[in-house]
Amino acid sequence: MKREIVEELKGIVGEQHVCTSYEDLYCYTYDSSSVEVDLKKDFPGVVVFPASAEEISAILKLANREKIPVIPRGAGSNVSGGSVSVGDCIVMVLQRLNRILEIDTKNLVAVVEAGVITAQLQQEVEKLGLFYPPDPASLAYSTMGGNVAECAGGPRGVKYGVTRDYVLGLEVVLPTGEIINTGGRTMKNVTGYNMTQLFTGCEGTLGVITKITVKLLPLPEGKKTMMAVFSEIEQASEAVSEIIAGGIIPTTLELMDNLFIRNVEEYAHVGLPVDADALLLIEVDGDKEALDRQIGRIEEVCRSQGAVQVRVAGDEKEAAELWKARRASFAAVSRVRPTIIGEDATVPRSAIPEMVRRIREIAAKYRITIGILGHAGDGNLHATILTDERDREEMARVEKAVDEIFMATLELQGTLSGEHGIGRAKSKFIELQLGKEGLEVQRRIKQTLDPNNILNPGVMFGEAG
Ligand SMILES: Cc1cc2nc3c(=O)[nH]c(=O)nc-3n(C[C@H](O)[C@H](O)[C@H](O)COP(=O)(O)OP(=O)(O)OC[C@H]3O[C@@H](n4cnc5c(N)ncnc54)[C@H](O)[C@@H]3O)c2cc1C
């Protein structure tokens, strides 16, 4: 990065908030995906830590003038290669925008800066008897800005939806430096195009989100967690379809296959049944009287589909242990092979049994290990490939398997990504789902807002921009 540019950046954010050493810059060449960066070509030029929309605006005006790529970054926990560096770019880390600005208990909304950690917002609103439902497994470290940019989801998505369903308004700095506000704090709002939803899930390609207004709900009175154990994964996936078809909407409905069960148990020791082919982890919430009724109906469905054991957590501690085990799943399998590729292709819920069957066939065909750990209740199966990126021959087979998983997903009327985004990892597939014309419209939106393609170039649209 040219010295004059670095000096100008120091003038905007202060010298102590600019990094240029090799060691510091190296940390921004990767995120939680397995997308590899060519260190010679795609090493960052500088990392900046702005603290306000005004500073971000000044940085983007500078970058736009000089046509320097800018990579916005929250915690870097995305798994689609959305925040890895590109050649001589400015990495813009948003963690200093970390204030919860307001919790409005009368209107049930909260206003936060983009760098606020999701779990912090949840803890603060819960102290007031309120509830912010989106719960990505990364909630302890991912940022609200990153969650909005990816439209993150989580186990509670079955009943409560995803981040998109809670974002009422945004403050966004456009790639050309203008600061705009979208939406507001009303529950209804149809003034103009729905720009709030356009920026939600845009993967940082259209603007830098600086402030977020979210909808809150009253905290449910109670919740119960149960685990249903199956000797065949087909039975578990049929049970998922049957629960949904029966009109029961649990808060969460998670599927874990034997690979995950064994590894999570070895790692977290919470008493998971290591011989089971699959288990469902289910939570219901609501009025205390309704909880037992819901649990009873779900147990009936699970048993009718062949569940060999149904365990209802006796107290909050036991329930918390089960969820801790679920959240530790990726860490648990990371010990098995060094490279974990977590796909999040998502299918309509009635197609879950067929998709599970196809994933297993693909794993056998290409002789690779694929675990299934998913938000099955919303069709988001998370086929998880355990591999080693240093083994070129195996990686070639993995690549073919991934292609087939995506083809199977689209054949079953699913989507390439339910929550992890397209990023750089899946950009080559995007046209398959959107079609030529559909993709062209999205490119035109990008060109209109970011005429010099400075913001996250390559994300979603690939090298062609
Ligand atoms: C163990 C683990 C479990 C996970 N579980 C889930 C899960 O259950 N559900 C789920 O949806 N995801 C999950 N993820 C993925 C990840 O945590 C989410 O995508 C999360 O929303 C990313 O937040 P972040 O702050 O880390 O953003 P980053 O990874 O830093 O950025 C994500 C993308 O958004 C852009 N961006 C970041 N901040 C902004 C901003 N303020 N304005 C504009 N663009 C911005 C970046 O350029 C990038 O393209 C998981 C990841 C891990 C490692």
Q: What is the pTM of this model?
A: 0.94
| 76-101: pLDDT as tens digits | 999 999 999 999 999 999 999 999 99
End-to-end Cα distance, the chain: 22
| 29-82: pLDDT as tens digits | 999 998 888 999 999 999 999 999 999 999 999 999 999 999 999 999 999 999
- Predicted local distance difference test score (pLDDT) of residue 464: 58
Question: H or E stretch including 229?
Answer: strand 222-230
Rounded average pLDDT over 3-19: 98
Buried b (16+ CB within 10 A) or exposed e, 103-138: beeeebbbbbbbbbbbbbbbebbeeeebbbbbbbbb
Tally the C-alpha atoms within 13 A of residue 147's C-alpha that lie toward its C-beta: 35
Report d(CA 72, CA 150) in Å as an integer.
Answer: 12
pLDDT reading at 239 higher than 60: yes
What atom in ligand 1 is closest to the CA of residue 207? 43
Select the more confidently predicted residue: 55 or 188.
Answer: 55
For residue 343, the SS3 value is coil
pLDDT reading at 325 higher than 90: no
Confidence of residue 455 (pLDDT cuts 50, 70, 90): very high
- Predicted local distance difference test score (pLDDT) of residue 74: 98
Residue type, 315: D
Question: H or E stretch including 148?
Answer: helix 144-150
Select the more confidently predicted residue: 120 or 287.
Answer: 120
CA of 143 to the centre of ligand 1 (A): 7
Farthest CA pair distance, the chain: 70
Report d(CA 180, CA 339) in Å as an integer.
Answer: 40
Q: Check residue 334 and report its DSSP letter.
A: H
CA of 133 to the centre of ligand 1 (A): 16
Confidence of residue 327 (pLDDT cuts 50, 70, 90): confident
Q: Return the bridge partners of 380, or none.
A: 346, 375
Average of per-residue pLDDT values in the chain: 94
Rounded average pLDDT over 14-29: 97
Residue of 94, 112, 138 to mutate, ligand 1, most atoms within 8 A of C-beta = 138
Query: In the structure, which protein residues have their CB atom closer than 6 angstroms to any atom of ligand 1?
Result: 31-32, 71-79, 82-83, 94, 114, 136-138, 142-143, 145-147, 149-150, 152-154, 203-204, 208-209, 330, 419-420, 456, 459
- Predicted local distance difference test score (pLDDT) of residue 463: 76
Nearest CA to 458 out of 86, 116, 125, 61 is that of: 86
Confidence of residue 417 (pLDDT cuts 50, 70, 90): very high
Least confident of 241-250, 301-310, 388-397, 411-420: 241-250
Report d(CA 158, CA 134) in Å as an integer.
Answer: 10
Tally the C-alpha atoms within 13 A of residue 94's C-alpha that lie toward its C-beta: 35
pLDDT reading at 465 higher than 80: no
Number of residues in the chain: 465
Rounded average pLDDT over 138-166: 96
Name the E strands within 358-460.
369-374, 383-387
Rounded average pLDDT over 111-139: 97
Nearest CA to 250 out of 295, 215, 209 is that of: 295
Least confident of 66-75, 140-149, 326-335, 394-403: 326-335
| 358-385: pLDDT as tens digits | 999 999 999 999 999 988 888 898 899 9
What atom in ligand 1 is closest to the CA of residue 153? 11
| 389-410: pLDDT as tens digits | 899 999 999 999 999 999 999 9
Rounded average pLDDT over 334-356: 90
What atom in ligand 1 is closest to the CA of residue 423? 49
Least confident of 58-72, 223-237, 312-326: 312-326
Closest Cα to atom 38 of ligand 1: 146
Secondary structure of the chain: what % helix, strand, coil (to 5)? Answer: 40, 20, 40
Rounded average pLDDT over 257-273: 91
- Predicted local distance difference test score (pLDDT) of residue 328: 84
Residue type, 211: K
Residue of 33, 55, 78, 343 to mutate, ligand 1, most atoms within 8 A of C-beta = 78
Report d(CA 211, CA 168) in Å as an integer.
Answer: 11
For residue 59, the SS3 value is helix
- Predicted local distance difference test score (pLDDT) of residue 411: 95
Confidence of residue 136 (pLDDT cuts 50, 70, 90): very high
- Predicted local distance difference test score (pLDDT) of residue 459: 97
pLDDT reading at 160 higher than 70: yes
Report d(CA 69, CA 90) in Å as an integer.
Answer: 6
Report d(CA 92, CA 28) in Å as an integer.
Answer: 10
Pairing of strands 90-93, 70-73: parallel
Tally the C-alpha atoms within 13 A of residue 328's C-alpha that lie toward its C-beta: 18
Q: Are 168 and 215 in contact (CB under 8 A)?
A: yes
Report d(CA 375, CA 379) in Å as an integer.
Answer: 7
Which span out of 275-279, 318-322, 334-338 was modeled with the highest average pLDDT? 275-279
Q: Are 45 and 89 in contact (CB under 8 A)?
A: yes
Torsion sign across C-alpha atoms 409, 410, 414, 418: positive
- Predicted local distance difference test score (pLDDT) of residue 345: 84
Rounded average pLDDT over 255-260: 94
- Predicted local distance difference test score (pLDDT) of residue 296: 93
Cα Rg of the chain, angstroms: 22
Rounded average pLDDT over 339-348: 89
- Predicted local distance difference test score (pLDDT) of residue 181: 98
Confidence of residue 333 (pLDDT cuts 50, 70, 90): very high
Q: Are 276 and 308 in contact (CB under 8 A)?
A: yes
Report d(CA 262, CA 409) in Å as an integer.
Answer: 27
Nearest CA to 386 out of 336, 349, 432 is that of: 336
Confidence of residue 285 (pLDDT cuts 50, 70, 90): very high
For residue 225, the SS3 value is strand
